[in-house]
Amino acid sequence: MSNAYLAKSLPDSSDQYPPPMTNEQALVREERKEHASMLLLLAPALVMVVVLLIMPLCWLAFQSVQTEDGFSLANYLRIFQESIYWDTFALTFKISFLVTILSIVMGFPIAYAASRLHGFWANLVLICVILPFWTSVLVRSYAWLVLLQRRGLVNQTLMDLGIIDQPLNLMHNTTGTVIGTLHVMLPFMVLPLYSVMKKIPQDLMQASESLGAKPFYTFRRVFLPMAAPGIMAGSILVFVICLGFFITPELLGGGRTILVSMLVQRNVELYHAWGAASAVGLVLLFVVFLIFWGINRFIPIERILGAR
Amino acid sequence: MNLLANLRHLRLSRVLFTLLVAAILLYLIIPVLIVVPMSFSEARFLQFPPKQWSFHWYEAFFNSVEWMSAAKVSLITAFFTMVISLPIGMAAAYAINNSSLKVVRTLQIVLLLPMMVPIILIAAGVFFVYARVGLISTMTGLVLAHIMLALPYVIIALLAGLRNFDMSQEMVARSLGMNRFRAFMAVTLPQIKPSVVSATLFAFITSLDETVVALFISGGDNQTLTKRMFTALRDEIDPTIAAISSILILASLILVVIAGRNKQG
């Protein structure tokens, strides 16, 4: 603001005392103009995010502490006092944690294979990761509904193989939620892991082994430390997306496995309880920001998100 | 002896590792592949493999007024989201790449917020605002919300291209008398084309795929395909969804191919 004012006021003063414009002054002026035009270019995008995201969030924050009697923290206290709220948060964290661990365990071999293979085989592995990644989450949830139902392919195969006698209850419960959610999250783990592993030179492993290290020692002391940033980026991404995930848990949980996101949705759409919905949502947001803020010291946020 | 045992051990662990990788890959790909044969099944109930084949569910999709209108709404929304978010995102990415201002780094994080804030909260917030300004169930509202959601993806894709581009080329064009916009269009843009293509794909896909916000704010004649699919899946599993899903999988396959070629080219 003050810059614009200054720039405007300059010509006036120059009418009276035409100042000799030094090279330095001209450069400063040019730099200011440059800064202003860059901010102007950023403006449309910023307006979109401020008006449609930041302002609504402030609004929700206001709603969460506003009751008929004026300011109140009742909506937040309820989260700690009523077991349904507390249990929902606990379950959400438990499922997110489980899915993150499982996606490390399952994502690591896939990423490793993709980074060490060449040509057709490497492409085959990557396509098996990328095709589901680009396929709508709704489509994949539908597929899991078909696969996991009582007479579905999974139960049928297990019974044909004689592993089980009775069909298992694989959906409309936490098992279904975890299977479906893991399927959505796995690519988010594999892709950052793959891009890190691809850059690890093979020579280092050979050097380690030529110096007498056993394969496992080489893996643990040479490969793993270099793959660690990828594991970290993938884990943060998976955990954070899991915390707020809605579609798959809603469809595969069948209304029995209630997560935080569903608590927000039900409070808004069924009960029109904006205060409760806002409080729950903002606690979730606070946790997510805390995680991002904590990890930002080790890996810049842009790097983590850029992995998408 | 020792060597032989070692070798056998190595081969066994290799076989086990290959089997493990194959199993995980099957877990990833089967749900995507299984939908296609399902969609050609005659049966009303979900069964695999189908006993009789037919185009029944494709006919049901293409002959249904509701499904067709939902598909149209989704495609139009995705198109406008793509067309509008690209220039807005390009301006922002250009500024982030070229500005030396410290505040720009902070603003960059602000622009990434739509990716970080849980989508359910974004949906609730947008719903809250739209209810007050009368944008619920409108195409305008839907497009605006989707532009906001697509911006971070567009900006990240474009930044990747700009960071690998030598800006002094644009400077040369400007020093030879082109104005900045023309220099950008003539010199920079053609050279960052791959990142523009992926930004375009991201914007389109983000909008086409978006479900949660649409669930809250779209309705009436302006329901998106995703909203209709979600409600259909929650209430009762209609096999028409298998047909729609197969079409969507084909679309994502095409996009993967385009994206793959784009990376090479």
**For the segment B168-203, what is each residue's pLDDT rounded down to a tens digit?**
999 999 999 899 999 999 999 999 999 999 999 999
CA distance B228 to B215: 9
CA distance A24 to B7: 73
Residue appearing with tokens 């293409």: B62
Name the residue among A100, A135, A138, A85 with its Cα closest to residue A242: A100
pLDDT in tens, A184-226: 999 999 999 999 999 998 888 888 888 988 888 888 888 999 9
Per-residue pLDDT at B156: 93
Per-residue pLDDT at A12: 53
Is the minimum CB–CB distance between A79 and chain B shorter than 8 Å? no
- pLDDT above 70 for B8: no
Per-residue pLDDT at B140: 95
Q: Highest mean pLDDT: which of A75-89, B6-20, B139-153?
A: B139-153
Cβ-Cβ contacts under 8 Å, B208 against chain A: 136
**A19 compared with A260, residue with greater pLDDT:** A260
Per-residue pLDDT at B100: 85
CA distance A304 to B245: 30
Per-residue pLDDT at A307: 40
How many residues would you count in chain B?
265
SS3 B168: helix
Per-residue pLDDT at A308: 37
Q: Is A39 exposed, middle or buried (0-12, 13-18, 19+ CB in 10 A)?
A: middle
H helices present in B99-224, as ranges: 103-116, 119-133, 139-163, 168-175, 180-183, 189-191, 193-209, 212-217
SS3 content of chain B, % helix, strand, coil (to 5): 80, 0, 20
- Mean pLDDT is lowest, of B33-42, B131-140, B225-234, for B33-42
- How many interface pairs between A and B have CB atoms less than 8 angstroms apart? 243
Beta-carbon neighbour count of residue A299 at 10 Å? 16
- pLDDT class of B1 with cuts at 50, 70, 90: very low
Is the minimum CB–CB distance between B157 and chain A shorter than 8 Å? no
Residue appearing with tokens 């979730």: A284
Distance of residue A15 Cα from the nearest chain B Cα, in angstroms = 29
**A19 compared with B148, residue with greater pLDDT:** B148
Q: Are A51 and B88 in contact (CB under 8 A)?
A: no
Per-residue pLDDT at A214: 85
Provide mean pLDDT across the span B45-55: 71
Is the minimum CB–CB distance between B254 and chain A shorter than 8 Å? no
Q: Is A62 exposed, middle or buried (0-12, 13-18, 19+ CB in 10 A)?
A: exposed
Provide mean pLDDT across the span B211-228: 92
Average per-residue pLDDT for chain B: 89
CATH class belonging to B65-264: mainly alpha
- pLDDT above 60 for B20: yes
Tokens coding A198: 């691809």
Pick one of 3.40.50.720, 1.10.3720.10, 3.40.50.2300, 3.30.930.10 as the CATH number of A83-306: 1.10.3720.10
Per-residue pLDDT at B146: 97
Phi and psi for B41 in degrees, rounded to 5?
-80, 150
Per-residue pLDDT at A215: 82
Look up residue A71 and give its DSSP letter.
E
CA distance B78 to B214: 12
Provide mean pLDDT across the span B56-80: 93
CB contact under 8 A, B92 and A261: no
Contacts of A100 (CB under 8 A, 6+ apart): A185, A235, A238, A239, A242
CA distance A205 to A174: 41
* Element spanning A63, H or E: helix A55-64
Q: Are B115 and A65 in contact (CB under 8 A)?
A: no
Per-residue pLDDT at A178: 96
- pLDDT class of A304 with cuts at 50, 70, 90: confident
Per-residue pLDDT at A209: 84
CA distance B149 to B240: 29
Residue appearing with tokens 């279904």: A176
Per-residue pLDDT at A26: 87
Cβ-Cβ contacts under 8 Å, A129 against chain B: 25, 28
Per-residue pLDDT at A78: 86
- pLDDT class of A1 with cuts at 50, 70, 90: very low
Name the residue among A169, A138, A271, A182 with its Cα closest to residue B234: A138
Is the minimum CB–CB distance between B142 and chain A shorter than 8 Å? no
CB contact under 8 A, B117 and A38: no
Provide mean pLDDT across the span B43-66: 80
Per-residue pLDDT at B251: 87
Provide mean pLDDT across the span B12-34: 92
Integer CA distances (angstroms), A181 to A45, A106, A167, B96, in order: 32, 13, 22, 34
CATH 1.10.3720.10 residue spans of chain B = 65-264
Is the minimum CB–CB distance between A225 and chain B shorter than 8 Å? no
Integer CA distances (angstroms), A53 to A192, A206, B28, B57, B188, in order: 27, 51, 33, 39, 31
Integer CA distances (angstroms), A213 to A206, A247, B5, B31, B84, in order: 10, 47, 18, 41, 56
CB contact under 8 A, B117 and A35: no
Provide mean pLDDT across the span B16-22: 94
Per-residue pLDDT at B5: 59
**B119 compared with B239, residue with greater pLDDT:** B119
CA distance B251 to B241: 15
Provide mean pLDDT across the span B81-92: 97
Which among A110, A137, A269 is the nearest to B21, CB-wise? A110
Percent of chain A at pLDDT exceeding 90? 52
Best mutation target among A37, A102, A106, A134 (most B Cβ atoms within 10 Å) is: A134
pLDDT in tens, A121-180: 999 999 999 999 988 999 999 999 989 988 888 888 899 888 888 888 888 899 999 999
Comparing alpha-carbon positions, the chain B residue that sits nearest to A62 is B125
Per-residue pLDDT at B234: 86
- pLDDT class of B4 with cuts at 50, 70, 90: low
